């Protein structure tokens, strides 16, 4: 590495010449003056070595200490899974020195070994560099930017259809596909590949064939943004229904423009005006009512208004100015993936930018591969796929996940390296998934200035409590943090709620309701904070305290198990005893219990009696039957669920 003069190094590190000379002398390098030439690499290493730092702290001249705190400079961008060799190149030092510094940390590495994020950052720090780790996809984008300007073209919009069940989502997709799909006459049988492109004059629109907001939000929770526009279906004879509101919240949280399709206008009982008024109450005011929401009246069955709907989609797309650069490396998102018996792993990918060609090497989440073949929605082989094209790809080493990113890479070795690194991270379960906001961290993050909003998904037993709670919570907003209820509704906490919270970094509050079993598992996997309460005051109090950093040590529930009530008996002296089947975990005699009816909490209390056959027992495990009486409570019904838990005091993590 090149030699540099002391004053040059001092300037770069924002130190005084004297400080550099003193530090180097302390490390045993003789320097005559600020114009002396030294080996830069060696000097940087020594300046940041513990010996030099120790010298610093030993110095009696206190005022100096503050000033001579070294500012790390300049900022380096590292890709995830950087190897020792790549890191050395970035730092412009010999690999030998990186290996040495790793060894000092107790790590024996080889030159092609990938380094974990924290270790790579520490090495940079030791050589005087502040660094930041970006994803591999971000790095490719950066590199392509450096390569210079490329031709930018308009790309087709990608649309997801959402709405209440039976309002006609599938019918609309089918109707559009039938009348607009390209190359139908070639005899290709349309197959379900999760998305398809339709032609509208010279232009096109991609429809994601995964109706339902779960799929939509699942993608978003995985970090994939695929939808440009949401079409919200509302049946004109049925009006706004609970899932309409849910879909609307999901679309709004994703910050995607919404077009309303009022369907089934062929029906005599259709009432499109009423639908518009209802939507107005949910913040979607139609254009003819003075708002700016595009509403199109259609009939998917009778094929009325479909052209107008497509036109409107293109009009909204024009405002979005959707652009892509076809002559860059292909990239996109995985919409679906499966293992096909004959073809091996198959993934439906939406190409979002660049061009994918047969033979390209790629990374797909934690999987790598080479495009062996590509198919369009008609099952026809294609050689290249441009932006906004859904394609089926074969050639992966294993099956990726929906929502994974897809990135073409220049060399196979790089693809392998990233995939290996990501698989290892997955195995270690430390995949750098953005940590979700929890109530415990709220104050901390507010202080850091990284949070100015507390998004909440609110579920309660009845609509009345939803309204009361929404109002009470909204009132808690302060000038430091805004409470934002992104979705509220009655009923149990579902998987869809957790996905929405996960994608929006929100916490979930349940009032007198419980999470469904699957939702609970998903929340654990996605690290979503769920707060369950049975008193309104305790909810507002908890949020208030979290906002001022005074969150009391909370009591954490330790789930034990659940039992289903199959039979009820009236037993003199005991009252009602439930004949139960323990479906999950275990029920213990000393546990606290909660009686659930349709996932709504009916009662909380203690067990009065627990028996197997005629004997009193201390616990009953999953798969066994038991007789269970609840202390001071008799209103048990067949079909109820009894959940057992312990309460533990949770240490504060603020
Ligand atoms: P999805 O659950 O939203 O996918 O709804 P579907 O597309 O399965 O439609 C539900 C029912 O509504 C089916 O019986 C359709 O035939 C019917 N349907 C869909 N669109 C229309 C329409 O425009 N007019 C009438 N009369 N019926 C429709």
**Ligand 1 centroid distance, CA of 172 (Å):** 8
More confidently predicted of 55 and 479? 479
Distances, alpha carbon 455 to alpha carbons 79, 219, 359, 461, 516, in Å: 31, 19, 44, 20, 21
Whose Cα sits closest to atom 14 in ligand 1?
166
Cα(4)–Cα(163) distance, rounded to whole angstroms? 66
Q: Which helix (H) or strand (E) holds 170?
A: helix 169-180
**Ligand 1 centroid distance, CA of 169 (Å):** 7
Distances, alpha carbon 548 to alpha carbons 226, 319, 446, in Å: 38, 42, 9
**Ligand 1 centroid distance, CA of 263 (Å):** 8
524 phi and psi angles, rounded to 5 deg: -65, -45
Mean pLDDT lowest for which of 36-45, 117-126, 321-330?
Answer: 36-45
pLDDT computed for residue 52 by the predictor: 47
Q: Which two tokens stand for residue 346?
A: 């198959």
Answer yes or no: same fold for 331-427 and 557-650.
yes
Fold observed for domain 439-552: Rossmann fold (3.40.50)
Model confidence at 185, pLDDT cuts 50, 70, 90, reads: very low
Asked whether the predicted pLDDT for residue 200 surpasses 60, the reply is: yes
**Ligand 1 centroid distance, CA of 181 (Å):** 20
CB-ligand 1 contact for 301 (6 Å cutoff): yes
Model confidence at 146, pLDDT cuts 50, 70, 90, reads: confident
pLDDT computed for residue 269 by the predictor: 92
CB-ligand 1 contact for 389 (6 Å cutoff): no
* Ligand 1 atom nearest residue 172's Cα: 7
CA–chain centroid gap for 582, Å, is 34
- Helices 50-58/40-47 angle, 10° precision: 50
Cα(247)–Cα(131) distance, rounded to whole angstroms? 40
CB-ligand 1 contact for 197 (6 Å cutoff): no
Cα(405)–Cα(422) distance, rounded to whole angstroms? 12
**Ligand 1 centroid distance, CA of 228 (Å):** 24
CB-ligand 1 contact for 174 (6 Å cutoff): no
- Whether the pTM exceeds 0.75: the reply is no
**Ligand 1 centroid distance, CA of 195 (Å):** 20
Peptide bond preceding 399 in cis form (omega within 30 of 0)? no
What's the whole-number mean pLDDT along residues 391-412?
Answer: 91
Cα(636)–Cα(317) distance, rounded to whole angstroms? 56
Q: Would you state the CATH architecture of domain 557-650?
A: Beta Barrel (2.40)
CB-ligand 1 contact for 387 (6 Å cutoff): no
**Ligand 1 centroid distance, CA of 233 (Å):** 10
**Residues 418 and 135: beta-carbon distance below 8 Å:** no
Computed over every residue of the chain, the mean pLDDT equals: 84
**Residues 195 and 207: beta-carbon distance below 8 Å:** yes
317 phi and psi angles, rounded to 5 deg: -60, -35
pLDDT computed for residue 555 by the predictor: 62
What's 436's DSSP letter? P
**Ligand 1 centroid distance, CA of 160 (Å):** 17
3-class SS string, 476-520? CCCCCCEEEEEEEEECCECHHHHHHHHHHCCEEEEECECECHHHH
Asked whether the predicted pLDDT for residue 364 surpasses 90, the reply is: yes
Sequence-distant (6+) residues with CB within 8 A of 641 are 562, 563, 564, 565, 595, 596, 597
Tokens 């559009």, residue located = 176
CB-ligand 1 contact for 267 (6 Å cutoff): yes
CB-ligand 1 contact for 272 (6 Å cutoff): no
- Residues 56, 57, 58, 64, CA torsion sign: positive
**Ligand 1 centroid distance, CA of 167 (Å):** 6
Asked whether the predicted pLDDT for residue 187 surpasses 50, the reply is: no
CB-ligand 1 contact for 164 (6 Å cutoff): no
Task: Choose among 353, 336, 356: nearest CA to 404.
Answer: 336
pLDDT computed for residue 109 by the predictor: 80
Q: Which of 160, 166, 243 to mutate to test the pocket of ligand 1 (most atoms within 8 A of CB)?
A: 166
DSSP string, 261-301: EEE-TTSTT--HHHHHHHHHHTT--BGGGTS-B-EEE-BTT
Fold observed for domain 156-189+197-216+225-313: Rossmann fold (3.40.50)
pLDDT computed for residue 391 by the predictor: 94
Q: Which of 261, 300, 304, 305 to mutate to test the pocket of ligand 1 (most atoms within 8 A of CB)?
A: 300
Spans of all domains in the chain: 3-147, 156-189+197-216+225-313, 331-427, 439-552, 557-650
Is 331-427 CATH 2.102.10.10?
A: no
């Amino acid at each position: 590495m090149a030699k540099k003069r002391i004053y040059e190094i001092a300037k770069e590190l924002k130190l005084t010449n004297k400080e550099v000379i003193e530090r180097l002398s302390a490390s045993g390098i003789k320097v005559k003056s600020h114009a002396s030439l030294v080996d830069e690499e060696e000097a940087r290493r020594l300046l940041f070595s513990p010996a030099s730092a120790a010298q610093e702290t030993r110095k009696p001249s206190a005022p100096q200490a503050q000033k001579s705190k070294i500012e790390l400079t300049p900022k380096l961008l590292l890709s995830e899974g950087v190897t020792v060799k790549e890191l050395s190149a970035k730092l412009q030092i010999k690999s030998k020195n990186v290996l040495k510094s790793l060894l000092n940390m107790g790590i024996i590495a080889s030159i092609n070994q990938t380094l974990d994020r924290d270790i790579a950052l520490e090495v940079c720090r030791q050589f005087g560099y502040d660094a930041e780790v970006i994803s591999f996809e971000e790095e490719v984008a950066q590199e392509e930017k450096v390569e210079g300007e490329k031709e930018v073209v308009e790309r087709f919009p990608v649309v997801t259809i959402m709405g209440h069940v039976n309002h006609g989502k599938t019918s609309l997709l089918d109707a559009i596909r039938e009348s607009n799909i390209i190359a139908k006459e070639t005899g290709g049988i349309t197959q379900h590949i999760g998305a398809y492109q339709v032609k509208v004059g010279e232009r096109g629109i991609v429809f994601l064939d995964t109706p339902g907001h779960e799929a939509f939000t699942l993608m978003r929770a995985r970090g994939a943004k695929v939808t440009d526009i949401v079409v919200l279906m509302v049946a004109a004879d049925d009006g706004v229904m609970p899932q309409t509101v849910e879909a609307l919240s999901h679309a709004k949280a994703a910050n995607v423009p919404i077009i309303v399709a009022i369907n089934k206008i062929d029906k005599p009982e259709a009432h499109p005006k009423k639908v518009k008024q209802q939507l107005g109450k949910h913040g979607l005011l139609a254009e003819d009512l003075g708002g700016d929401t595009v509403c199109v009246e259609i009939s998917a069955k009778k094929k009325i208004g479909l052209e107008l709907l497509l036109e409107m989609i293109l009009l909204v797309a024009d405002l979005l100015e959707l652009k892509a650069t076809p002559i860059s490396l292909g990239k996109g998102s995985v919409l679906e993936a499966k293992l096909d018996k004959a073809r091996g792993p198959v993934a439906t990918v939406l190409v979002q930018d660049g061009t994918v060609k047969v033979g390209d090497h790629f990374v797909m989440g934690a999987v790598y591969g080479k495009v062996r073949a590509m198919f369009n929605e008609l099952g026809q082989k294609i050689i290249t796929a441009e932006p906004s094209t859904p394609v089926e790809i074969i050639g992966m080493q294993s099956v990726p996940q929906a929502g994974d990113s897809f990135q073409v890479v220049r060399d196979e070795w790089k693809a392998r390296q990233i995939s290996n690194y990501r698989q290892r991270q997955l195995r270690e379960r430390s995949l750098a998934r953005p940590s979700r906001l929890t109530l415990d961290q709220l104050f901390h993050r507010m202080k850091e200035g990284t949070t100015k909003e507390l998004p909440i998904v609110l579920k309660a037993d009845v609509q009345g409590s939803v309204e009361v709670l929404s109002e009470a919570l909204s009132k808690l907003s302060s000038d430091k943090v805004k409470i934002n209820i992104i979705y509220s509704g009655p009923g149990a906490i579902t998987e869809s709620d957790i996905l929405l919270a996960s994608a929006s970094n929100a916490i979930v509050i349940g009032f007198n309701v419980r999470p469904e079993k699957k939702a609970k598992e998903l929340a654990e996997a996605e690290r979503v904070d769920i707060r369950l309460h049975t008193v309104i005051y305790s909810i507002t109090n908890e949020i208030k305290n979290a906002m001022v950093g005074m969150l009391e040590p909370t009591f954490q529930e330790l789930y034990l198990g659940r039992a289903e009530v199959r039979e009820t008996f009236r037993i003199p002296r005991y009252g009602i005893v439930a004949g139960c089947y323990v479906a999950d975990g275990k029920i213990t005699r000393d546990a606290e219990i909660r009686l659930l009816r349709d996932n709504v909490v009916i009662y909380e209390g203690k067990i009065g009696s627990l028996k197997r056959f005629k004997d009193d027992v201390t616990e009953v495990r999953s798969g066994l039957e038991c007789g269970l009486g609840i202390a001071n409570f008799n209103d048990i019904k067949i079909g109820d669920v009894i959940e057992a838990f312990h309460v533990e005091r949770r240490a504060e993590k603020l």
